[in-house]
């Protein structure tokens, strides 16, 4: 008998149909400038036909990464983008109709995976002022909850948890035996990390990506940090050779080139400072403390600006609904100064 997973019939996935050609994309929180061209050329200079022909070997890069993070390879699992790791954690640590708690709005894949695997996703909304209510998270952590998903820093709001807050949440999770996934996709744009909880405790995972600051979204690489037994369970779900050889080659070069990470952070900071100063000068309210993106409240209709940016300026940005007292506003990825200048010039022209 033919069978089709009924969850897939109703599942609504939106696949990005925008063509990058000629557009400046400030809608996906990538690094619009990417890594320096001479760095790319250097990394590719010793690629051989054998390198391309062989299945990727993960041991060497896992050791480089573990070394960089001050841990060992039993605590990490490489994945094809952290979106893959998040999926495996949900598959391994929740059951059909299991309760999954996460803050909303948030990275949309948490809800998509919940629907895909028939989990019951329960969203904890932000406060009116866009702060996150830890009390409300604690309340939502009922004894039947299997997985709690947090983001540090939060996408899209960009706010963060204090040590006391995260510790009270983790203590409650431990008491009720709830696995906690902390998504740190935007780590490095805001250096506070909760990785130590994944490395020292049990039933806490941290996922990270090379797509954001490390500017390798095109190669797909992320990793899951956790306690060795949990990591082994995630590993069992991985497709064979899930980690791209080029991704690991570039990532190793970024991690081991002296000053490279600092340079990426410095360029980003310069772009952020420029954008914020320019918006302040032009009287634009903005929010977003901790990610590589900013919410901007325009003077005119946000959706119209998004459409006109695309049609007239070849710049892709997003409109976002429900951003506290901003209502529907613009979300813009932050990149190097030259891209921020192009965006602000377009904004000041269109937003009249
Ligand atoms: C919060 C968050 N987590 C995870 C991801 C997935 O990143 P990737 O699969 O590229 O590692 C994204 C991508 O935008 C994100 O915003």
Q: What is the pTM of this model?
A: 0.94
Q: Is the minimum distance from the CB of 185 to ligand 1 under 6 angstroms?
A: yes
Q: Which residues contact 341 (CB under 8 A, 6 or more apart)?
A: 274, 278
For residue 156, is pLDDT > 80?
no
Instruction: Give the pLDDT mean for 143-161.
Output: 89
Distance between start and end Cα atoms, the chain: 60
* Residue 155 pLDDT grade (very low, low, confident, very high; cuts 50, 70, 90): confident
Rounded Cα–Cα distance for residues 186 and 13 (Å): 23
Indicate which atom in ligand 1 lies nearest the CA of residue 106. Answer: 1
Indicate which atom in ligand 1 lies nearest the CA of residue 79. Answer: 11
Q: How many of the other CB atoms lie within 10 Å of CB of 294?
A: 23
- DSSP of 10-57: H----------TT-EE-SS---SS-S-HHHHHHHHTT--HHHHHSPPP
Q: Is 298 or 322 the better-scoring residue by pLDDT?
A: 298
Q: Are 184 and 204 in contact (CB under 8 A)?
A: no
Which range, of 71-75, 93-97, 155-159, 169-173, averages the lowest pLDDT? 155-159
Rounded Cα–Cα distance for residues 179 and 173 (Å): 7
Q: What is the pLDDT of residue 19?
A: 75
Q: What is the pLDDT of residue 198?
A: 98
**Is the link from the previous residue into 331 a cis peptide, with omega within 30 of 0?**
no
Domains assigned to the chain:
13-30+260-350 (3.90.1150.10), 38-256 (3.40.640.10)
Q: Is the minimum distance from the CB of 209 to ligand 1 under 6 angstroms?
A: yes
Q: Is the minimum distance from the CB of 183 to ligand 1 under 6 angstroms?
A: yes
Q: Is the minimum distance from the CB of 81 to ligand 1 under 6 angstroms?
A: yes
Q: What is the pLDDT of residue 16?
A: 76
Phi (first) and psi of residue 316, to 5 degrees: -100, 125
Indicate which atom in ligand 1 lies nearest the CA of residue 186. Answer: 1
Q: What is the pLDDT of residue 193?
A: 95
- Rounded mean pLDDT of the chain? 94
Instruction: Give the pLDDT mean for 75-93.
Output: 98
3-class DSSP state of 131:
coil
* Residue 323 pLDDT grade (very low, low, confident, very high; cuts 50, 70, 90): confident
Nearest to 153 by CA among 120, 107, 114: 107
HSE-CB at 49 with a 13 A cutoff on CA atoms is 0
Q: Summarize pLDDT for 95-142 with one digit per residue, the tens.
A: 999 999 999 888 999 999 999 999 999 999 888 777 888 999 999 999
For residue 18, is pLDDT > 80?
no
Q: Summarize pLDDT for 218-260 with one digit per residue, the tens.
A: 999 999 999 999 999 999 999 999 999 999 999 999 999 999 9
Q: Summarize pLDDT for 251-298 with one digit per residue, the tens.
A: 999 999 999 999 999 999 999 999 999 999 999 999 887 889 999 999
Q: Is the minimum distance from the CB of 29 to ligand 1 under 6 angstroms?
A: yes
Q: Is the minimum distance from the CB of 155 to ligand 1 under 6 angstroms?
A: yes
């Amino acid at each position: 008998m033919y069978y089709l997973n009924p969850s897939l019939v109703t599942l609504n996935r939106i696949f990005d149909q925008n063509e990058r050609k000629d557009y400046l994309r400030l809608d996906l929180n990538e690094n619009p400038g990417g890594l320096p061209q001479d760095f790319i050329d250097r990394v590719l200079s010793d690629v051989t036909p054998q390198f391309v022909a062989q299945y990727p070997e993960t041991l060497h890069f896992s050791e480089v990464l573990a070394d960089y993070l001050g841990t060992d390879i039993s605590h990490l699992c490489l994945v094809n983008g952290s979106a893959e790791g998040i999926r495996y954690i949900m598959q391994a640590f929740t059951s059909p109709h299991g309760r999954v708690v996460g803050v909303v709005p948030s990275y949309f894949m948490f809800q998509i995976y919940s629907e895909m695997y028939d989990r019951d996703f329960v969203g904890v909304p932000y406060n009116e002022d866009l702060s996150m209510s830890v009390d409300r998270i604690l309340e939502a952590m009922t004894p039947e909850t299997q997985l709690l998903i947090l983001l540090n820093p939060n996408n899209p709001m960009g706010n963060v948890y204090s040590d006391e807050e995260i510790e009270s949440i983790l203590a409650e999770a431990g008491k009720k035996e709830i696995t906690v996934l902390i998504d740190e996709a935007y780590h490095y744009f805001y250096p506070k990390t909760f990785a130590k909880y994944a490395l020292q405790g049990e039933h806490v995972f941290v996922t990270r990506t090379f797509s954001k600051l490390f500017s390798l979204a095109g190669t797909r690489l992320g990793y899951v940090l956790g306690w060795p037994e949990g990591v082994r369970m995630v590993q069992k779900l991985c497709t064979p050779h899930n980690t791209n050889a080029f991704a690991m080659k570039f990532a190793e070069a970024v991690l081991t080139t002296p000053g490279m990470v600092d340079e990426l952070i410095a360029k980003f900071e310069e772009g952020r400072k420029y954008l914020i100063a320019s918006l302040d000068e032009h009287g634009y309210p903005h929010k977003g403390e901790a990610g590589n993106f900013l919410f901007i409240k325009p003077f005119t209709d946000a959706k119209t600006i998004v459409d006109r940016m695309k049609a007239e300026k070849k710049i892709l940005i997003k409109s976002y609904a429900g951003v506290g007292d901003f209502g529907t506003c613009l979300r813009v990825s932050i990149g190097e100064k030259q891209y921020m200048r192009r965006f602000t010039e377009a904004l000041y022209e269109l937003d009249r």
